[in-house]
Structure 1
């Protein structure tokens, strides 16, 4: 939410561990889709709050890169304006201050950073031993090569309490955790619930309006409200935006109707006593309440189920780094270019007894 929360340091860590990292603080949309097609990098964007404000087109490109089958944009290229398809699929990390666009946040795993307390001490990343990261990246590369087919075919169970897109984000990570075995599947699911649970504190404006309308029906203990009464109830909430929605004035009936039309909810004549003013019945909202508002049901246990068992050709030099791969025949990581060296093939499953036991308090630690 504020500067000096460690976002640039976090990107620095990812850059040392990711496959073909490409770290940028600003990039034009035309360069963005060309770089993604040409180098298939792990894209690490800093200052994304300022970057997307200046390049709204880039948001659509980043959104398109979420699903492999549809991760393509078409642009006219060359003097003859030949339509050309660019593949923009790939892993991306976006760091910035404040909230990013809802469509991007919905396709992401949120990591909310906080400024450290005065008494907290950390080690400076610039003083970290490069050999440690070289060894870690080498082992990650070895794991990826040895287990790619198992990860590709894994179908981990979804995390209850998360929406479909959030589960899509976590599927590859859950597959890796289940292959690692031990307590990793359980910890991964706790992390998923914890991280996405934080984001539920900031609903969209449409969901916020539905919440306020539900509260209005509850507070007035009514199954129907006239438009005037509903607007009055909305304006009574000083912490909601509805009292100043119309340039400092309360929301109008037309503005309310326009917002509710997005949920296929329309006003009509409702009988209230001897009168039949324009208004709404609670039953009109029930489906929208169920679909778009969080329920109060407790989250289920994060204990996991049992484990179930393209890049463009170009003569342009790559702008991304290729990690060394740990040696298959040696327990020590070796430095090399591209995939020159390869670490001991380690069994994908870890004995559970070798890991410390965790309890539900782990959630607080995460």
Structure 2
């Protein structure tokens, strides 16, 4: 009888202790004892509880981790000991980066990032500046709402693209480099690890790969960075995140939708006298120190960067402004010369480059030229088509696999802009299907105007039509925008300027003012 009473008493005591000290309280008790017992949180039963909390309540585990860090506990060792077998690959892929023990000066840190890249990469200052800011943004993803792609490109091989990719991946948050990746692997990788994806040879990888292109494009804005796929035996719809920073590296330009979402990092082949240190033989410690500093700076400044509404870089389009928003916020938060440098880089890489028009905009431009050539406000469909296909340098003469564009295809293309053929009366009183110049007014204003994004390369000519007369000259609106922009650290990015007199294009070659970026 005594034995039964004793057992019952022990069971009652255990039940009362479990009620008074549940799992969470054992962890809290260990945290409170860290000052007197640094090993309290590493006790076997506490670690077992932490493993359970880490799987079931990641938010609580992060709070415990932060408290342990304040108490000078090695959180790297804590992460390692609480990692389950399923997560072991994550630890191996992404080793823990210990934050820098002291406060980090943002301007000095970015200057050091700039210097270490410039030591190993031959590139213009705007490119290196943008790369440094983009690297910093990978550490702030939790607070950002926009994450532009970084597109490293060059016209030919052996221009240093892979070297810049290697340098950036050595400094980015949770870097994961791949030479090729399937569409399914993209969203599953992002969902599981949220890494910085560095994809090389992207010019071959993305060719004719519409699904992969769509997945990459979806990651620009946090709100839309997700896809739904059916998974499991019951094909249950499951949402996967695509919200992760991505670097694309390849030869030449990519699809317009990707270029539109990218920070362009353009490389060039080095010439005699240009020397760069070998990145393969570089000391690993400076890179590790910078990763540690970037981690600490982001821990201290991530939330202000996320809340910031930086002043835009004057002269850029809406999408380019969106892409540069997180980079400008980081530059403003870092201070020093970086706000000026960042906006100068944005203008050099985006603002002064003549954009390549889409095929639709090119068609509008050629239609406008056809109306001007005939000095009329009405053109029959067949007449307009003959003018378009008569230009051997335009794509319309060989649009159909070597055969000319058809009337039906012309109508289909123009319908995308809300323009449809109708019965018109020509000057000779004939009635035919065709187009009226007035119907193009809205499309010309939105897509050919200097304020609308693409600038027509044809200077405005005097014309009797009010519609054509209202079209601004190619150089007027862009010049006004650039004139309002702050003077860049270098304003010499190479670009073409159309002669205002209407003559042939004059090329004005400019060099980069490297002195402004001597750090």
Q: Assess same fold via TM > 0.5.
A: yes
Aligned in 2, Cα 1:47/1:118: closer, same or farther, shift over 3 Å?
A: same
Instruction: State the shift of 1:133 in Å.
Output: 1.6
Indicate which of 7, 10, 18 corresponds to 2:164.
10
Larger radius of gyration between Structure 1 and Structure 2: 2
**Contact 1:186–1:302 (8 Å) recurs in 2:** no
Unaligned runs of 5+ in 2: 1-154, 449-453, 456-473, 494-509, 514-519
Does residue 288 in structure 1 map to residue 288 in structure 2? no
Instruction: State the shift of 1:21 in Å.
Output: 0.8
- Residues 216-255 of structure 1 correspond to what in structure 2 (within 5 A)? 216-255=370-409
Q: Deviations over 1:211-237 (max 9, x none)?
A: 111222233333222222222221233
**Is the partner of 2:206 in helix, strand or coil?**
helix
Aligned in 2, Cα 1:52/1:246: closer, same or farther, shift over 3 Å?
A: closer
Q: Larger deviation: 24-33 or 269-278?
A: 269-278
User: 2:311 aligns to what?
Assistant: 157
Distance 1:280 1:152 in 2: 49
Aligned length: 314
**Is the partner of 1:277 in helix, strand or coil?**
strand
User: 1:206 aligns to what?
Assistant: 360
Instruction: State the shift of 1:17 in Å.
Output: 1.0
Aligned in 2, Cα 1:237/1:120: closer, same or farther, shift over 3 Å?
A: farther
Indicate which of 180, 189, 196 corresponds to 1:26.
180
Q: Which runs of 4+ in 1 moved over 6 A?
A: none
**Is the partner of 1:288 in helix, strand or coil?**
helix
Distance 2:284 2:485 in 1: 36
Does residue 365 in structure 1 map to residue 512 in structure 2? yes
Instruction: State the shift of 1:257 in Å.
Output: 0.5
Give RMSD over aligned pairs.
2.3
Q: TM-score, normalised by structure 1?
A: 0.79
Does residue 302 in structure 1 map to residue 485 in structure 2? yes
**Contact 1:110–1:199 (8 Å) recurs in 2:** no
**Contact 2:398–2:404 (8 Å) recurs in 1:** yes
Q: TM-score, normalised by structure 2?
A: 0.57
Distance 1:190 1:67 in 2: 24
Distance 1:77 1:249 in 2: 45
**Contact 1:42–1:91 (8 Å) recurs in 2:** yes
Instruction: State the shift of 1:210 in Å.
Output: 1.1
- Residues 134-145 of structure 1 correspond to what in structure 2 (within 5 A)? 134-145=288-299
Indicate which of 325, 334, 346 corresponds to 1:192.
346
Distance 1:225 1:84 in 2: 53
Instruction: State the shift of 1:51 in Å.
Output: 1.5
- Residues 41-52 of structure 1 correspond to what in structure 2 (within 5 A)? 41-52=195-206
Instruction: State the shift of 1:174 in Å.
Output: 0.8
Aligned in 2, Cα 1:4/1:204: closer, same or farther, shift over 3 Å?
A: same
Q: Deviations over 1:27-59 (max 9, x none)?
A: 122222111011111111111122223743222
Aligned in 2, Cα 1:247/1:82: closer, same or farther, shift over 3 Å?
A: closer
Distance 2:174 2:442 in 1: 45
Indicate which of 276, 292, 301 corresponds to 2:431.
276
**Contact 2:310–2:325 (8 Å) recurs in 1:** yes
Distance 1:17 1:232 in 2: 56
Distance 1:210 1:221 in 2: 16
Which structure ranks higher in relative contact order (CA pairs < 8 Å, sequence separation ≥ 6)?
1
Indicate which of 70, 87, 90 corresponds to 2:224.
70
Distance 1:194 1:110 in 2: 10
